[in-house]
Amino acid sequence: MLPQRPATPESARRLAGRHLIFDGAEFELGRKLGAGRFATVYHADRRRVDSPACAGAHLPTQLAIKVCELAGISAWGRMALVREQALWMKVDHPNVARCLGAIKTPTQAVILLEECQGGELFERIMKMNHFSEDRAARLTAELCSAVSHLHSCGIAHRDLKPENILLASDADDAPLKLADFGAAGLVHEGLRTPCGSLGYAAPEQLRGLFSQKRDRSGAPAAGSTYGYEVDAWAVGVIVYILLTGVMPFDPARYREAPLTVAFPDDLFGGVSAAAIDFIERLLCLSSSHRMTVQQAEQHAWL
């Protein structure tokens, strides 16, 4: 059983139009930071607090607020939202965006998050094309530290990709912040649910990802059991992208193409042997022989 925060009176937690009341603090929703199929993330500014002693007074004056529309979401999907918030709040690490609380109404689920002013790592890659090896190594060290902490909490993220990694600020040396725990799961429960993103999913996740079968709750049909190793594979894909600006595998051909990683000279001519070894050890087809994230933290490249 995951730890839960003490219950707060419903009147103290509600979303009304562009205003959010949470634990005695009122926030005004501002610009849209991002959007998905069922959720939109907004910037929010704190406008007032009921008293300096109220719980809301201890929240940051600026937040990111994720608003999930429940209409059209299956029963399994609604349970996944509750699980996302519970697992996210279990994690406390400087390279993980903080989950500060949650509200549920009959039509919406709302998650309060630490705002990261630098936006997605994906956007930074698109802007810069690729990073220097030193910068890539520093970001990778931060990512491995965050993922290793998740694993120490019994959690596998299962959807690591640049879109789910944020930067604390616009500065060139801004630290990264891991986000979006919508696919996260507890390894001791036995992970079998197909999830993840094509291009980043490990080989052991692939069979389930291509299945369209669902049970009565809307949950994807279970596949083979897998574990923390899927996150290690995704880290390898991300490092490849950081150094080259391109993906090692074509998502459009992920189903039929063999997952073999190549290091062409036009992309890796100036990359060190240590960096290539780091990637190769993570992108190992056999999960039992794949370098773990904890081992990656000790690798010579970092």
Q: What is the pLDDT of residues 29-60, one digit of tens each?
A: 999 988 877 888 999 998 888 878 777 778 89
Residue 1 has pLDDT above 80, yes or no: no
Give the DSSP H/E element, type plus range, for residue 122: helix 121-128
Q: Which of 96, 132, 89, 134 is nearest to 116 (CA)?
A: 96
Predicted local distance difference test score (pLDDT) of residue 8: 39
Question: Per mean pLDDT, which of 68-72, 118-122, 193-197, 220-224 is the most reliable?
Answer: 118-122
pLDDT at residue 216 tops 60: no
pLDDT tens string 80-94: 888 898 999 999 999
Q: What is the DSSP code (8-state) at residue 288?
A: T
Residue in the block written with tokens 């595998």 = 249
Q: What domains, with CATH codes, occur in the chain?
A: 10-113 (3.30.200.20), 121-297 (1.10.510.10)
Within 7-163, residue ranges assigned H as helices are 75-89, 121-128, 133-152
Q: Average the pLDDT over 234-253 and give the result.
A: 92
Q: What is the mean pLDDT of the chain?
A: 86
Task: Round to whole Å and give the CA distance between 290 and 270.
Answer: 25
Q: Is the pTM of this model over 0.85?
A: yes
Pairwise pLDDT comparison (49 vs 208), residue with the higher score: 49
Q: Which residues are annotated as a binding site for ATP?
A: 37, 66, 163-164, 180
DSSP state of 153: T
Please name every residue paired with 209 in a beta bridge, in sequence order, or none if there are none: none
Q: Looking at residue 94, what is its pLDDT?
A: 98
Is residue 254's pLDDT more than 90?
no
User: From the CB of residue 266, how many other CB atoms can be counted at a distance below 10 Å?
Assistant: 6
Question: What does the alpha-carbon distance between residue 95 and residue 177 come to, in Å, rounded to a whole number?
Answer: 4
51-64 per-residue burial string, b: 16 or more CB within 10 A, e: under 16: eeeebbeebeeebb
Tell me whether residue 50 is one of the annotated catalytic residues.
no
pLDDT exceeds cutoff 70 at 273: yes
From the list 23, 50, 92, 159, the catalytic residue is: 159
Strand ranges, E, within 105-258: 108-113, 155-156, 165-167, 176-178, 185-186
Helices and strands, number each (H, E), in the chain: 8, 11
Write out the H or E segment, with its range, that includes residue 281.
helix 273-282
